Chains A and B, each alone.
Chain A
Amino acid sequence: MTKVLRVSLPVLIFLVAWEAASRMGVVNSALFPPPTRALSALVEMGRSGELWRDMKASYGRLLLGMVCGVVIGTPIGLMTGRIHAVADVLVPLIQIFRPLPPVAIVPLVIVWFGIGESAKVFSIAFAVFFPIWLNTHLGAQQISAKFLWSASTLTHSRWRIFRSVIFPASLPLITAGLRGAIAVAFVMVFVSELAGASEGIGYEIAATHLAYRIDKMIAALAVLGASGALADALFAASITRIFPWLRFSHSK
């Protein structure tokens, strides 16, 4: 109970202060509509069905982009972290692309892929690839030699060592990379929907901006922020369910 209060109290105080400031004219209510008005706008968006349509579109792109990033980033990270020959070939190439702000590639992606779904999914996958790759690479690189020496006395199968030792030993950093990637994916889904989209939360924010519906903008932003926080919490909870030993690893 105390923890619930500790977590919710700052949010409540913030919302009440905002509501009061907006209603009492401390801030311009046209620019800073009170949270209750944003809530009404959210209910309105939900009733009309546009909120669900936008959420479905955005989360679909986000999920697909994340899956592509994980499927490509994790094995490459494991290989560059453990196999020198692969690292020699791939790391310089990846390091050239890594400093690029993912947002900067969106115009180029539109030129390449058009304004369809593939452009948005590619942008998200591109952006999430780097935190996933880097953390996996470092995780695989930092495995204690003693784990590998022990494993080599117990099995001759390199695949088994890779699957049963290298992958789990890298997992604490892989999960850290995935949590970073979730946050990046939410940024990228918004950015990729700003141009050339007809649905999605990012599109909704851009469209309501043109219509000067600030209450709707705030409602859509709140949905995006809350979804990001929820996705992170769900990921953290599910990963320790799938790999229970990570609970002890995190507590250290």
Chain B
Amino acid sequence: MAQVLPLQMSESQNRKAWIQAEGLTVRLGSTVIIEDACFTVYKGEFVSLVGLSGSGKTTMLNALAGFIPSTGRVHIPGRIGVVFQDYSVFPWMTVSENIAFGLHDLPMQQRTQIVSRLLEMVRLTDRAGLYPAQLSGGQAQRVGIARALAPDPDVIFMDEPYASLDRFTREDMQRWLLDVWGERQKTIVFVTHDIEEAIFLSDRIAVLHDRRIKATVEIPFSRPRREDLKYSKEFLEVKLKILEKMRGAADMKDKRNSALHRPADERD
């Protein structure tokens, strides 16, 4: 299991390193899923992990969050929150009970205040007494995010939270998440296979391939970001750059595989 230690603040480019992973390795039996990954996320940063299916994005997130056994070192400051694509809310609790679940240590009055503030933020005040099954997919995900935010965590891990939503709902949720992030300034690690989503939301994108982080790409766009940014030439350029990194990594793998499978006398 990776050691999850209290954060030792280190300054880099005037930014506080908030999550630091060194030599992070995850094995499933004899199979290595993540190998010797090094990863830093700065305070208040929105970082996305992208990669092809099976590249280990979710495993990386689960290892960073300490949910699965891993080796190496992970520095995380205190409390974390998590939002999954499915099972993100408890179906046996109402909307307000879900949000209040992480607040049980607080006095009732304070708990009620936080819940009503978050209900307002997720635009579900009139749905407080409903069960998740009575909500739409987007509404249920907003409850999941509100529940993760309720105990005021230092980091939020989000694993493809919008993957099952239709395009319009997803875009609406992206804009909403950016508003919430702008308001709360939480450090977010966001896993997605949707490159446009990653670019639109993130400060930085880490490209995973072949068990490792192959590249990180800084997103040059200022905030707040508007929807029409997605149709700009600059956005497309960043998208192509990331695709190149992903494709390059995949091509390199293909070349290596084909070289390995060629007869020895045909090899270079």
Contacts and interface: CB of A to CB of B under 8 A. Distances in A.
Contact of B151 (A152, A154, A252): A154
B92 A245 contact: yes
Interface string B134-152: 1000000000000110110
A163 to B, nearest CB: 11
A150 interface: yes
B221 interface: no
Interface of A: 144-147, 149-155, 157, 160, 164-165, 168-169, 171, 243-245, 248-249, 252
Interface of B: 62, 65, 67, 79-82, 84, 86-88, 90-93, 101-102, 104, 131, 133-134, 147-148, 150-151, 153
B92 A154 contact: no
Contacts of A168: 90, 92-93
B148 A153 contact: yes
B148 A147 contact: no
Given A168-B92, A243-B92, A146 B86 contact: yes
A155 B102 contact: yes
| Secondary structure type dominating chain B contacts | loop
A-B CB proximity, top 3 nearest:
A154-B102, A248-B133, A168-B92
A145 B62 CA distance: 11
B111 to A, nearest CB: 13
Contact of B90 (A145, A160, A165, A243): A165
B87 A144 contact: yes
A169 B84 contact: no
Nearest to A147: B87
B92 A150 contact: no
Contacts of B150: 154
A150 B131 contact: no
Contacts of B91: 245, 248-249
Interface centre among A157, A165, A245 (most CB of B within 10 A): A245
B92 A171 contact: yes
Contacts of A243: 92
Given A149-B67, A150-B84, A153-B102, 14 more contacts: A146-B86, A146-B88, A149-B62, A149-B82, A150-B87, A153-B65, A153-B148, A153-B153, A160-B104, A164-B90, A165-B90, A245-B93, A249-B91, A252-B133
A130 B151 CA distance: 41
Contacts of A169: 90, 92
A169 B90 CA distance: 8
Given A154-B102, A171-B92, A245-B131, A146 B151 contact: no
Which of B87, B93, B151 has its CB near the most chain A CB atoms (within 10 A)?
Answer: B87
A153 B101 contact: no
A23 B223 CA distance: 89
Contacts of B104: 155, 157, 160
Contact of A153 (B79, B87, B131, B133): B79
